[in-house]
Structure 1
Amino acid sequence: MPEGDSPTVARRRVRLALREARERADLTQLQVADEMEWSLSKVIRIENGDVSISPNDLRPLLAYLGIKDKPTVAALVADARIARTRQRQVWYQKPEFRENLTDATRKLIEYENEAAQMRSYSVYYVPGPLQTPAYAAALMTRFEDELSESQRERRIEARRLRRESLLARAASGDVRILVMVDESVLRRTIGGPAVFAEQLRELLRLAETDAITIRMVPFSLDASVTNNASFDLLTLGEGEVLYRETGLGDEMIEDRDTTAKHRARYDKVWHEVADEAATITFVKSQIHSMEQAQ
């Protein structure tokens, strides 16, 4: 067990080990629930990371799933203890945010606070934590028919808080942020020329101060990362998690094969697209165009 792990990382390690062991044993969640005399919902919540399993519950479960190696059992029990360490209530778990953010989004925010690296790919708009308040507000107007004014306000506030936390960690060297955006993201004037120019200037500032490393996928390059989804890959401890969203919803994926495929595709395209210098030159030209349009 790596020293200094947070409850978030420790809980993730336990639940992934349990899920993978159950799948290797070809057992369903219902079969596990019946054997342990638990409710099915308890098993689901443990595997989803919604609750932490106690060491007393973990030991017999590990035995049932065939995990008997003493060092492995000891490490997982130690992780279970760390996972149950009481933390101060974080802002995204407060009722006003729990009611207005999806489960996947709250899980993403939790992992953003622990990630050592974050690789972001966007096909439509500037990634959430990098958005200026005005850009975020303009983008949120597109959901007036789906979200109430209160819901939109909470989501805008959540983006502001995410931004503060993530960029503070980047400034201190705790996380490295790689951003890859489709050329359309740097052309789509969300909010109008003034708002969009401000957003582009902010991206330029972040890139020039090394808070982020940004590259653009130009229209001329025939290499798509995904067909229709933006995503974030976050490196946590020994593995990665994938947050993926489309216009219809979002999801958090922790399957190792899926995350590995997205990472391989991301790395491949990263080396084919416009580099940082060319991307910054393009951003500057777009800022000039927006200023001329005002």
Structure 2
Amino acid sequence: MADGESPTIARLRVRIAVREAREAAGLTQAQVAESLEWSHSKVIRIENGDNTISIQDLRGLLALLNIQDKKRVDALLADARIARKRQPEQSAWWKKSPFREEMSDPLRRFVEYEAEASEIRSFNIFYVPGPLQTSAYGAALTAMWKGDGEALSEESEGGGFTEKKVEALVDARRLRREAMQRRSGSLKYLVLFDQSVLMRPIGGASIFAAQLQQIVDLAGAGFTKVRMLPFDLPIAIANNGSYDLLQVGEDGSRSEVMYRESGPKDEMVENRPVTERHRHRFDQLWEAATAESDTINFIRTRIDSLAKPK
């Protein structure tokens, strides 16, 4: 399915346009609900992407928000029709058990966008991002939060991690990588590590060495491009948490969304000023980082050091 015909991307375009138009008009969600005689929760669900909007409701909303340009109205109505189409369930593994129960709502939405993304930029200060993880590294990492109700994890919604949850999340990362590999010819995947990620031996020396080797292998196969922010780089990254930026949609209608952690919660961010600010910061750090060839050499040296007896 082409990006322009994707219900996922069409739904995103509609809700971003609606939210930005509402904010430009100086209206709150409650005021929109009152004017259209909707429930407040209905407006929230539409803007959050939890519900698609009917054509009739969209016409009324666009009129209220004073969106009158025929070309723009027609484009949004066309998107609304596409957004209401059902996608093939057999391809949406994240909607099935056990992923439906064990993945957070923001993570499931992130994976849905990831399946449509043309570009992915991942900034990491704690651990290797999911699609690059080996199963052993992923299991060791995620198991750290078993039983922890305040788990600081990319998939955490609070509430302890059971064995079933750990297995589902590790398997989800494998499925994400396989889906991305099937599109590797058209998908741009940039991964930026803080040096600490490549120094922290999660799972022990042998598991971590195998993880680092997988990064080298995936980069060598053209799956990803990687760079490192060394400890001695004179820049401040303390105010940057790990995040992923996804670019979705066709030329002329592209949108960027962000997935990030915030304490014990994770979240999807679809606010244009916020995503633009993080994209600008990523680009700055990418240019300042160690070149890919030097990063790979650093990783190989790190693998060798892990193999030496202590």
Name which of 279, 283, 287 aligns with 2:295: 279
CA contact under 8 A between 1:228 and 1:246: conserved in structure 2? Answer: no
Name which of 265, 271, 276 aligns with 2:281: 265
Query: What is the CA-CA distance between 1:168 and the residue it aligns to?
Result: 2.1
Match of residue 176 from structure 2: 162
Q: For 1:128 and 1:224, locate their aligned partners in 2 and report how far apart those are by CA, in whole Å.
A: 25
Match of residue 129 from structure 2: 127
Match of residue 112 from structure 2: 110
CA RMSD after TM alignment: 1.6
Letter of the 1:204 counterpart: V
Is residue 2:252 matched to residue 1:252?
A: no
Letter of the 1:229 counterpart: G
Q: For 1:293 and 1:207, locate their aligned partners in 2 and report how far apart those are by CA, in whole Å.
A: 28
Name which of 186, 194, 206 aligns with 1:182: 194
Gap runs ≥5 in structure 1: none
Query: What is the CA-CA distance between 1:226 and the residue it aligns to?
Result: 5.2
Match of residue 244 from structure 2: 232
Residue range with higher mean Cα deviation, 93-102 or 21-30: 93-102
Residue range with higher mean Cα deviation, 140-149 or 10-19: 140-149
Q: For 1:117 and 1:91, locate their aligned partners in 2 and report how far apart those are by CA, in whole Å.
A: 21
Query: What is the CA-CA distance between 1:95 and the residue it aligns to?
Result: 4.5
CA contact under 8 A between 1:139 and 1:190: conserved in structure 2? Answer: yes
Query: What is the CA-CA distance between 1:253 and the residue it aligns to?
Result: 0.8
Name which of 83, 89, 96 aligns with 1:94: 96
Is residue 2:64 matched to residue 1:73?
A: no
CA contact under 8 A between 2:193 and 2:227: conserved in structure 1? Answer: yes
Instruction: Rate the CA distance shift 1:225–1:77 in 2: closer, same or farther, 3 A.
Output: farther
Q: For 2:171 and 2:214, locate their aligned partners in 1 and report how far apart those are by CA, in whole Å.
A: 18
CA contact under 8 A between 1:225 and 1:266: conserved in structure 2? Answer: no
Q: For 1:77 and 1:225, locate their aligned partners in 2 and report how far apart those are by CA, in whole Å.
A: 42
Letter of the 2:266 counterpart: D
CA contact under 8 A between 2:4 and 2:10: conserved in structure 1? Answer: no
Letter of the 1:97 counterpart: F
Gap runs ≥5 in structure 2: 149-160
Query: Given the two structures, how large is their TM-score scaled by the length of structure 1?
Result: 0.95
CA contact under 8 A between 2:106 and 2:266: conserved in structure 1? Answer: yes
Name which of 142, 148, 173 aligns with 2:162: 148
CA deviation string 1:186-217 (max 9, x = no partner):
11111111111111110001111111000000
SS class of match (1:87): coil
SS class of match (1:118): strand
Query: What is the CA-CA distance between 1:9 and the residue it aligns to?
Result: 0.7
Q: For 2:280 and 2:245, locate their aligned partners in 1 and report how far apart those are by CA, in whole Å.
A: 11
Aligned residues: 291
SS class of match (2:308): helix
Letter of the 1:256 counterpart: R
CA contact under 8 A between 1:224 and 1:269: conserved in structure 2? Answer: no
Instruction: Rate the CA distance shift 1:18–1:120 in 2: closer, same or farther, 3 A.
Output: same
CA deviation string 1:103-132 (max 9, x = no partner):
111111011101110000100100011101
Match of residue 305 from structure 2: 289
